[in-house]
Copies of this chain bind each other. A is one copy, B any other.
Amino acid sequence: MLLTQKNTIYYHPQGKEISVFEHCFRNQLPLMLKGATGSGKSRFVEYMAQQLDRELISVLCHEETSTVDLLGRYIIKGADTEWIDGPLTQAVRNGAIIYLDEIAEARPDVLVAIHSLTDHRRKLFLDRHHETLDAPPNFMLVASFNPGYQRGYKELKASTRQRFVMMTFHYPNKEIETQIIVNETNIDKNTALKLVNIAAKIRGLSELGLSETISTRLLVDAAKLIYSGLAPRLACRVAIVETLSDEPDIQSSLQDIINMNF
């Protein structure tokens, strides 16, 4: 799955991430973004592609993503066969930024395919197409992975990790998060702040044992429903409480926090 994004992206920087990205781009170093669901990794990459005026090609990796999906394949057309570039090949050919989202999920041969692109060689070998591509200076490889739900089963090998510069994304601070909600939903600042306070409270409650805590995305969803006319408590119930847990006890604790704010 690939997307070419050229529209204007709203992004609120949280630290030096823009500078790190620019230096990696300039030094032709691959970059890996670590962070939980909804912490803004994908949006940041879209924003940087726009800032650097580079095409962005995104691939969401999963358990069955293989080299063929990235490099390309032959398609049979009547009596002929035709080669179709995969997204990684397109990115190398065009000097674009390729974003391999959740790279740890992909099949192992994918990690192999990027080895020669992430060291001094900067080459892509298309064995099946009898072609070797030299990555142009403005090609950049960005990847993401989520150490949170990686526990136990899908680790990145050290031999892959050490090929990347890495940055961790955290949730934005209260002020930034409030502004994001207002920007994306047109809701009043007061309601946005209440939602942010709810999120801050929930994120602090490690005793709830949530597999992953509340992202800004959920707050935006709740704000949209409230702005659209749904009662705030019900909006938070369906956008936040039900989404975070299926356990009645935990749901009731979460709803208590919401009811204290709305």
Contact = CB atoms under 8 A, between A and B. Distances in A.
Interface string A95-128: 0000000100101110111011001010101010
B211 A1 contact: no
A23 to B, nearest CB: 5
A173 interface: no
Contacts of A108: 62-64, 105
B162 A225 contact: no
Where chain A touches its partner, the secondary structure class is mixed
Interface in A79-108: 79-81, 84, 87, 102, 105, 107-108
Nearest to A130: B84
Contacts of A3: 116, 121, 123, 125, 132
A23 B228 contact: yes
Contact of A146 (B36, B63, B80, B159): B159
Contact of A168 (B24, B60, B242): B242
A148 B158 CA distance: 10
Contacts of A5: 121
Given A64-B107, A164-B243, A224 B29 contact: yes
A40 to B, nearest CB: 12
A165 B109 contact: no
Interface stretch (A47-55, A193-201, A214-222, A253-261): A214-222
Contact of A127 (B1, B26, B218): B1
How many copies make up the complex?
6
A116 B167 contact: no
A27 B225 contact: yes
A55 B200 CA distance: 41
Given A34-B242, A165-B221, A109 B62 contact: yes
- Among A79, A113, A162, the most chain B Cβ lie within 10 Å of the Cβ of A162
Contacts of A202: none
B217 A162 contact: yes
Contacts of A65: 109
A62 B112 contact: yes
Contact of A79 (B1, B63, B79, B111): B79
A29 B217 CA distance: 11
A117 B239 CA distance: 17
A128 to B, nearest CB: 8
A27 B228 contact: yes
A2 B242 contact: no
Interface in A218-243: 218, 221, 224-225, 228-230, 234-235, 238-239, 242-243
